[in-house]
Amino acid sequence: MITSRDNEKLKLVRKLRNRRWREREGLFVSDGEDLLAAGLEAGRSPVDVLVAAGSGIAGAEVEPRLLDAASALGSGSRAIAIWEIPTAPAGEPPRVYLDGVSDPGNVGTVIRTAAALTGARVALGPGCADPYSPKAVRSSMGAVLARPPARAAFAATPAPRLGLVAHGGADLDAAIAELAVEPTLCLGAERSGLPGEVVHGCDATAPIPLRGPAESLNVAAAAAIALQRISSLAVAGVGD
């Protein structure tokens, strides 16, 4: 059993909270038995698993107080897993592109939403948060392991491209139908939106219609609405 905070496994977990160490080692951590289960269900094998002593979970047992201190979840943690950062398959192009989305919670949620609604992979452009930071991994609920995102420039995403904008453009459903085939959905940060060069490079643009007093939607919420419409219209055969 691990009884010292200076144990090498615990030291590695702490180091991997830092992006520089994640990139250097090619590893990241997930907190909680739910994310461990999600990774295993996705067919991934963890590099290591640290578990609270007496939890009944397979792994290296750690004194509960030490595991709590090492976990981003805090008190009551039962498992921390270390994983290799996966590589997105080259033959499966992304269908969601994010540009300048710097909040890791939003990045993780979009990855999870895209995987759930359309099975799409996500491409991360300039200024996007690290998808393997603890907050992004937790927000993705393990989707970073099931549908790994890729770093990619806008020009590398497949056409046709549909850009979500705050104002102007076509009706969302009409834009999706006119493109005829499943588009790459392009989204920017809530405040700044998509850069002009990305908007100009899109085959169509559309806003999310807002009826209430809010001026804009969180990027993860906007992605969920647009992906649901893309999925629904594809099932209905609109545009065929």
Region 55-81 average pLDDT? 95
Region 203-214 average pLDDT? 85
Per DSSP (E only), the strands in 13-87 are 27-31, 48-52, 60-62, 79-84
> For a pLDDT cut of 90, what percent of the chain falls above it?
85
Are 149 and 122 in contact, with CB atoms under 8 Å apart? yes
- Confidence bin at 60 (pLDDT 50/70/90): very high
Q: Report all structural domains of the chain as residue ranges with CATH numbers, in order of start.
A: 8-84 (3.30.1330.30), 96-236 (3.40.1280.10)
- Confidence bin at 237 (pLDDT 50/70/90): low
Q: Is the pLDDT of residue 132 over 70?
A: yes
Q: Which element (helix H / strand E) includes 59?
A: none
